[in-house]
Chain A
Amino acid sequence: MLGRQGEELAAGFVEETGQQVVDRNWRGPAGELDIVALEGATVVVSEVKTRRNPDYGHPFEAITPAKVTRLQIIARQWLRAHGLATAELRIDAIAVLDDGTGQPVIERLKAIG
């Protein structure tokens, strides 16, 4: 389960960088959110992509504009489901490159949508 491991690593990374994870793998009517965290008053939704190596393209390349639009819809649904409809929202992308030999490489792009 490479994807699971990647999300686990990403959640740790998010905590380390000062965010407070409040939800994981939330499934809403339009799809799933990998990580939902709080950074101050801002709700940060992180989409995690994991690859063993970049031969099939960089993880970020798998996040298409359509995917970003869908993430925004799901994130709004999450906010409404938790009574936070007016909260500030940000969507980040996290790439995990884990070739299984040692240090996985984690990259983050903030505010992609």
Chain B
Amino acid sequence: MGLGRTFAVALVGLDGYLVEVEADISQSLPAFVLLGLPDASLNEAKDRIKSAAKNAGIPLSRRKITVNLVPASLPKKGSGFDLSILIAALQASGDVRPSGRTVFLAELGLDGRLRPVRGVLPAVMAAVRHGCADVVVAGANAAEARLVPGARIRSFATLAEVLLDFGADPGQLLLPSGGQATAELQESVPPPALPEPDMADVAGQVEARTALEIAAAGGHHMVMVGPPGAGKTMLAERLPGILPDLPDHQAMEVTAIHSLSRTVGQLTQLIRRPPFESPHHSATGAAIVGGGSGVPRPGAVSRAHRGVLFLDEAPEFDRSVLDALRQPLESGSLVIHRASGSASYPARFQLVMAANPCPCGMSGGKGLECVCSPNQRRRYLGRLSRPLVDRIDLQLTMQRISLADIAAGDAAESSSKVAARVHAARAAQRERLARWGLDVNAEAGAALLKKELKPPRQATADLDRAMDLQVLTGRGYSRVLRVAWTVADLRGLPSPDRDCVGTALAFRQQVKAA
């Protein structure tokens, strides 16, 4: 009888904190007291733990068990502390040996099975960062936990097996028969990944295809305005397909976010492909930026981290929702505050918006079929706020495809060909921008573009004239330059020439925002 001590991890957003679980058994009437800011779901742990221990063959002590989660000031939630609390309690009663700095991350079933928990990847990352490389997880979480470099993961299907490993009396334990463990394994088989849609499916729209390629190569945000059926959605869905694979550290960030937001136990490998998030326009602010009760959970912008956030029918979104995108667009991360704490999530995404030119969608070109009033037409795109549109480098209007485009559709390039050019362009950018710690042209600031990255004067002649005629603002000037650099990278040029700048200018068909 005495004191037991184990470790667990509390996640606040993506940040994991090491939590020390102390258990003390005192000679008083049976009771189970849980201290240290547990939420309702964590308080339910008491009853799960009692049943699980009994059904594993080693019931809890019939005395007063006091469990303290340190630091007490950190809010803790969820079921991931079950196993660490139980092991600490059994250490206190002398049933298992001390576990040192081993971290335990699993929920317990009443039958004594270990159940997977959410956010195992960021939790294991935090454990390793705090010098606790030994982690015990449920079988269904094992593959995800093993993704963390430097972690020594041990996974078990049942509590009895964990206790056996920590020196419990095998005579007392009720070890499961083989059938139970295999059932657990079958649960964790991930669904096969769907193939990414291919650029070859898009007929015509040469201009938009080029814009998409530039967006992919330079990491530029993009807005497409066009009538229904022009292929805006089709194109946007094909953007992730031409983006390069995520490098290790980015893949880790992305997988960590998805570990928090997906159904438990689905992740078995690093997410290497840029994610694609396409929230419906009825989405609330909390759904987009993150939220929920207690410590807020990641929203669509964070799930789109290092990938694409596609807002179809962008003007239909609540204006407050659209404006909430400005902070992450600027800083690449966001901090969400709620009553019980704040959480910060990364949100460095590529924004792609699609919009109809007016509510009925027909006002493009001559607009003869349009049934909207001039006022409606003017107001529609005005819903996209000026500060938001200002941050979008590529703005283009699209027309419906013609019969000729469909006939010529066979010739459309496949995603793999475009991706190869994007890959080369990215490599060129990395080489040039590494000095300033940047990855892609979209991140280049105005100051950089005016000095170190200023193209030759003859290349920017058209641009300078536009500036003189006051059809282009200072901010617009920088945007055109950024795109021009990407065009040059795609063409394999050392710096943009007059033609590159011309192409970039063509993709500034200003979306009229208010």
Contacts and interface: CB of A to CB of B under 8 A. Distances in A.
Contact of B62 (A58, A68, A110, A112): A58
B28 A61 contact: no
**Main secondary structure on A side of the interface with B:** mixed
A19 to B, nearest CB: 18
B320 interface: no
A13 interface: no
A68 B27 contact: no
Nearest to A93: B29
Interface string A61-101: 10100001000000000000000000000000100000000
Contacts of B63: 60, 109
Nearest to A61: B30
A58 B29 CA distance: 10
Interface hub of A61, A93, A109 (most chain B Cβ within 10 A): A109
A60 B62 contact: yes
Contacts of A63: 29
Given A60-B62, A61-B62, A112 B30 contact: no
**Main secondary structure on B side of the interface with A:** loop
Nearest to A68: B29
Interface residues of A, number: 9
Interface in B27-62: 27-30, 62
Contacts of A112: 28-29
B27 A60 contact: no
Interface string A39-73: 00000000000000000001011010000100000
A109 B63 CA distance: 9
A109 B27 CA distance: 6
A61 B63 CA distance: 9
Nearest to A107: B62
11 contacts: A58-B30, A60-B63, A61-B29, A61-B30, A68-B29, A93-B29, A109-B27, A109-B28, A109-B63, A110-B27, A112-B28
- In the A-B complex, the 7 residue pairs with the smallest Cβ-Cβ separation, listed nearest first, are A58-B62, A61-B30, A60-B30, A112-B29, A63-B29, A60-B29, A60-B62
